[in-house]
Copies of this chain bind each other. A is one copy, B any other.
Amino acid sequence: MLNEWGLMTTELSPPAAGGRDSVAAEQVVAHVRGLIERGALRPGDRLASERQLARDVGVSRPSVRAGLRSLAAMGVVQTRHGAGTFITEGPPALVSEALGLLAAVHGIGFDRLFEARRVLEVGSVALSAERATGEQVAAMSDEITGMYASLEDPQAFLRHDVRFHRAVAVGANNPVLGALIEMVASLHYEQRRVTVERARHQLRESADMHRRIYQAIRTRDPEAARAAMDEHLRQAQAAQASEENERGRA
Task: Show the binding face of A for B, using Cβ within 8 Å.
Answer: 1-2, 4, 7-8, 10-11, 13-19, 21-22, 25, 33, 36-37, 41-43, 62, 65-66, 69-76, 78-81, 87-106, 108, 112-113, 115-116, 118-120, 122-124, 127, 155, 158-159, 162-163, 166, 174-177, 179-180, 184, 186-187, 189-190, 193
Contact = CB atoms under 8 A, between A and B. Distances in A.
A16 to B, nearest CB: 6
Contacts of A162: 7-8
- For this chain, the copies found in one complex come to 2
15 contacts: A1-B100, A15-B90, A15-B91, A16-B90, A17-B78, A22-B79, A43-B106, A69-B73, A74-B74, A74-B95, A92-B103, A92-B108, A95-B98, A115-B174, A119-B124
A226 to B, nearest CB: 10
A169 B159 CA distance: 33
Nearest to A155: B7
Contact of A43 (B1, B21, B105, B163): B105
A104 B41 CA distance: 10
A98 B74 contact: yes
A92 B116 CA distance: 14
B120 A37 contact: no
Given A4-B193, A119-B124, A163 B21 contact: no
A91 B95 CA distance: 19
A104 B7 contact: no
B163 A103 contact: no
A98 B63 CA distance: 19
A13 B163 contact: yes
A10 B159 contact: yes
A145 to B, nearest CB: 15
A71 B21 CA distance: 13
A94 B100 contact: no
A166 B113 CA distance: 19
A196 to B, nearest CB: 11
A81 to B, nearest CB: 6
